[in-house]
Structure 1
Amino acid sequence: MPSVPILMPQLGESIAEATILRLEIAPGDRVETDHEVIEVETNKATMGVTTLCCGEVIEILAKEGETYPVGSVLALLEVDEAEIKRTGVSTVEEHMAEEGDDQPAGSDAEEENLHFKVDDDAYREPKVIEPNVKGLPVPAGRAGAHYISPRMRARMNDLGLQAADISAIVGSGAGGRVTVEDLEKFLDYIDTWPRSNASPMRMGVADSMRRSWTRPLASVGHPLVMDKLLHHRKSLASKPGPTLYVLRAFAIAIAENPAVAGYLIGDKIVHPRAIDIGVAVQVEDGVLVPILRSLDTKKLADLAAEYADLVKQARNRRLADEATRGGIATVTNFGTFGLTWGTPIPLPNETLILGLSAGVKKPVWSEDVQAFVPVTEAELALTFDHRVVDGGGAGMLLNRVVQLLQRPEDL
């Protein structure tokens, strides 16, 4: 009977590869249509690879812990002709031909597609690749060279290193420039240090933060008295947390002046067309940011269920790719870790991120009673792209968020 490949699917618009977490099948197993057979991890979520037809597993080509690009053959099914006709799936031979057709004229199509040739066992070894974002942790030290020679750049490319990865290496070249010899000496120095493999999630976060830090970022802060907010949440059946209040107030404040969340493109500020704001959710070895859409148009009570569902999906690593795309800003509640201050970093495609700290009891002067009274106070920290927003504009935005949070019944 014909063989049908199980392929690494396109798991999202921006996802080019995934790592095999767990194989749910073995040779000889019978599988049905839409049977989840392989669990994979991308830099955003954990997902399942499902079958497109019924059949018997005849060979597993993928290995747990390895990373494969989209389109790789992960396993083979033996499928009868009637099932192929019913589902319209491609056989190994047809898949090989389709891959060949995708090659432009004059390309090395034959060499590049040998692993799909049925009469050659080469196709039985799917292409294993390393995650396309790598990095080398280095201890803090003085800044290295500003100039990177072509030879050094080539060696860094071989190792998957960025300029930030070598900035702490003391250079012996002219003007403190880091040379290839300096890099090799450092690699030898740390060769016996304990190490662990960075997950796709960790590498995704690392790449995102590297790109974000290429901009001039600044932070401002403001205290937030939370007593009215905490009292109001008790009156609602859904009992929304402080993060949802902050999300809603942040959305209203941005909607009043969308330019503060715009992008600087050339000599233009491109304003957001919708107030879609993400919430940072801590997961194992990283952070996911699901997006709540059109927050300026939805009341707080109506958002509670949507918010809870998105956070649950994020914690279970089951977010759809579209649920994390298109945000214009993020809110992060680092107070859940007991932190009383922080300066969060916005995503590369966002201008703003607003952080909320843990609430603590403090004495605050009351003009009404002319005495200090105990209140629960947290800190709000707004980090912004200084090319788009100045300190004054960021301060006014933050003041408006605080003002809105003092009238939680209007949210």
Structure 2
Amino acid sequence: MAEIKVPELAESITEGSIAQWVKKVGDRVEKGEFIVELETDKVNAEIISEEAGVLTQILAEEGDTVLVGQVIAVVEAGEGAAPAPAAPVAAAPPQAAPAPVAAAPVVEETTGERVIASPAARKLAREKGIDLAAVSPVDPQGRVRVQDVAAHGTAPVAAPVAAPVAAAPKAVVAVDDSRVTIEKMSRRRQTIAKRLLEVKQSTAMLTTFNEVDMTNVMALRSRKKDQFFESTGSKLGFMSFFTKAVVAALKKYPYVNAQINGDEIHLNNFFDIGVAVSTEEGLVVPVVRDADRKNFAEIEDSIADLAKKARDKKLGLSDLQGGSFTITNGGVFGSLMSTPIMNGTQAGILGMHTIKKRPVEVNGEVEIRPMMYLALSYDHRIIDGKDSVGFLKTVKELLENPEDLLLNS
């Protein structure tokens, strides 16, 4: 027999949630086979079986919170091990009917068999006054989940307690559950919400703006992208230009690449640039290591690899830790302007936005140019307006003269 336990993923991770069971009780399991996905506040982890056999017990349901070291399943060795039967419930002896009460209690067991339901489903049933035995589960194994309870609707309203004759009758307001869909926040979404709120509350965050004329970057990219792909095998995007421009600006304004630790300012002498990536579970920020030492192709490859790992839920903790500055590109979703929130303890984040053709003044003439707004959110406790404006101006100048970036890469 092999117990499947929640593994130690990192020192800072002590618990997680069961995201998905890919095997069910009675299924054959091979040694090293992925059987359950665990969601933590940082990454999703695939838990494997250390022994071949049959999955006989599942001890934690999808959505349950589990601790590191906790046993969540049992695999029995052999070809034909049968699933462990559910613990029998002794039939209760006949009892006198209880006296009526004002409100009907939530019933979870109406027969000799216990209803199998997730903790979230039981909680919602109690809140709604629903008998779990009356809920029709979608799960072929008969487990009642929160979606089943929500779909079942509310329980009938209990008869009111007798009121004095003189009291006026109270109107009963029917609640239409179809107007509201209850969805539990994923562990990652809870963590994202918590950390963003912490940043807003613990920093003196301020945002300053500028705009960049993308004419020369777009023209250079158009001229060089085919040659770039033939020589490197990588696609030439805008992110490599922005990453190179950011690194150059960080070298010129080192406090933007710093962080506060108590009453100390830590000036980072490395340039690990976080790149925000949107996934189904929420925003993650994998890190391009030593971006100052990478050329355009290496930066493009790093970003592409990290984005794919993020979408495939393959990011490791090492991919997410230790960034010194972050770039986020809301322009891919059509955002014209925003005020990005800083990432963790970093002192700054640069927001890119959608490219829009707008009339601008060029050498005394009005021309239509592809323009992009830039937004730098920064911690005003260590970065003054002079540095923030100078940082954005440097990024703008380098992007409007992209040959300088290529020559210095």
Aligned partner of 1:281 among 277, 281, 295 = 277
One of 360, 366, 369 as aligned partner of 1:364? 360
Q: TM-score, normalised by structure 1?
A: 0.69
CA distance in structure 2 between the aligned counterparts of 1:14 and 1:248, rounded to whole angstroms = 32
Assess, with a 3 A threshold, how the Cα gap between structure 1 residues 4 and 239 changes in structure 2: closer, same or farther.
closer
Larger radius of gyration: 2
**Among residues 188, 192, 195, which one is paired with 2:182 in the alignment?**
195
In structure 1, the residue matched to 2:161 is none
Question: Would the aligned equivalents of 1:13 and 1:321 in 2 still touch at CA under 8 Å?
Answer: no
> Residue 231 in 1 paired to residue 226 in 2?
no
2:51 is aligned to: 53
Instruction: Quote the residue 2:308 is aligned against.
Output: 312
SS at match of 1:213: helix
Deviation at 1:267, TM superposition (A): 4.0
Amino acid in structure 1 at the alignment position of 2:188: M
Aligned twin of 2:24 = 26
How far 1:193 moved relative to its partner? 6.3
Counterpart of 2:62 in structure 1 is: 64
Select the residue among 296, 299, 320 that pairs with 1:324.
Answer: 320
1:336 to 332, 337, 353: 332
Q: 1:402 to 1:13 in 2, by over 3 A?
A: farther
| 1:16 maps to 2:14 | yes
1:46 positional shift: 2.9
Q: 2:192 is matched with which residue: 205, 218, 222?
A: 205
Distance 1:377 1:58 in 2: 61
1:293 aligned residue: 289
Matches of 2:55 and 2:262, distance apart in 1 = 54
Q: Deviations for 1:112-141, whole angstroms, at most 9, x for unmatched residues?
A: xxxxxxxxxxxxxxx989xxxxxxxxxxxx
Q: CA deviation at 1:404?
A: 1.5
State the SS of the aligned residue for 1:287.
strand
Structure 2 stretches of 5 or more lacking a match?
A: 79-117, 121-176
Q: C-alpha separation between the residues in 2 aligned to 1:203 and 1:298?
A: 34
- Among 31, 35, 42, the residue aligned to 2:40: 42
Letter paired with 1:404: L
Partner of 1:391: 385
TM-score with structure 2 length normalisation?
0.69
**TM-superposition CA deviations, 1:64-87 (whole Å, max 9, x none):** 22121111101112248xxxxxxx
Note the C-alpha offset of 1:266.
4.1
Aligned to 2:346: 350
In 2: Cα distance, 1:359 partner to 1:345 partner: 21
Percent identical pairs in the alignment equals: 33
**Letter paired with 1:11:** L
Q: Which amino acid aligns with 1:44?
A: K
Q: Which amino acid aligns with 1:360?
A: K
User: What RMSD, in angstroms, separates the aligned Cα atoms of the two structures?
Assistant: 2.5
On the 8 A contact 1:36/1:51 being kept in 2, the answer is yes
- Separation of aligned partners in 2, 1:408 and 1:317: 34
1:403 aligns with one of 378, 389, 397:
397
**C-alpha separation in 2, matches of 1:266 and 1:8:** 34
Deviation of residue 395 (structure 1)?
0.5
List runs of 5+ in structure 1 lacking aligned partners: 81-126, 130-190
Change (3 A) 1:12 1:266: closer
Displacement of 1:343: 0.4
SS at match of 1:233: helix
| Letter aligned with residue 196 of structure 1 | E
Q: Using the alignment, how far apart are the partners of 2:26 and 2:40 within structure 1?
A: 28
Match of 1:220 among 208, 218, 226: 208
**Alpha-carbon distance, 1:249 to partner:** 1.0
Aligned residues: 303
| 8 Å contact from structure 2 (residues 253, 387) kept in 1 | no
Aligned partners of 2:238 and 2:22: how far apart in 1? 40
Structure-1 separation of matches of 2:36 and 2:348: 37
Render the CA deviation track for 1:266-323: whole Å, top value 9, x for unaligned. 4432111311010111112420001001111211122211111111111222211110
- Contact in 2 for aligned 1:243/1:356 (Cα 8 Å): no
Q: Take 2:25 and 2:282, find their aligned partners in 1: how far apart are those partners?
A: 34
Q: Matches of 1:193 and 1:24 in 2, distance apart?
A: 30
Contact 1:68 1:128 in 2 (8 A): no
Q: Distance in 2 between matches of 1:366 and 1:193?
A: 53
